[in-house]
Amino acid sequence: MDQKTFLMAGVALALLVAVAAPFLASGSPDGLESAFFGLYGAKTLTGSELDDDQAEVAEEEVVEKTGNDFEFASPMPDYTVEGWDKAGEVVAVVLGTLLMLGLVWGLGRAVAATKQ
Amino acid sequence: MHIPDAFIPLSQSLIYWVIALIFIGLSLRWARQELTDEKVPLIAVLAAGIFAIQAMNIPIPFGTSGHMVGAALAAIVIGSPFAGIFVLTLVLIVQGVLFADGGLTAMGANIINMGVIGGFVGFYGYNTMMGISRNMYISAFLAGYLSLLVSALLCAVEMAFAGTFPLVPGLVSMGTYHAVIGIIEGGITAIALYMIASARPDIMEHAAGVAA
* CATH code at B5-199: 1.10.1760.20
Cβ within 8 Å, pair A31-B98: no
pTM above 0.90, yes or no: yes
Would you say A70 and B103 are in contact if contact means Cβ atoms under 8 Å apart? yes
Percent of chain A with pLDDT over 70: 97
Contacts of B48 in chain A (CB under 8 A): 10-11, 14, 97-98, 100-101, 104
Whole-number Cα distances in Å, B111 to B3, B13, B83: 10, 11, 13
Mutate to test the interface with A, among B177, B184, B204 (most CBs of A within 10 A): B177
What is the ipTM metric for this complex?
A: 0.95
Q: Which of A54, A25, A32, A53 is nearest to A41 (CA)?
A: A54
pLDDT for B211 beyond 50:
no
- Chain B residue at shortest CA distance from A49: B63
- Which of B37, B91, B178 comes nearest A112 by C-beta? B37
pLDDT band of residue A113 (cuts 50, 70, 90) is low
Average pLDDT for residues A24-31, to the nearest whole number?
Answer: 96
pLDDT for B205 beyond 90:
no
Average pLDDT for residues A68-91, to the nearest whole number?
Answer: 94
Domain ranges of chain B: 5-199
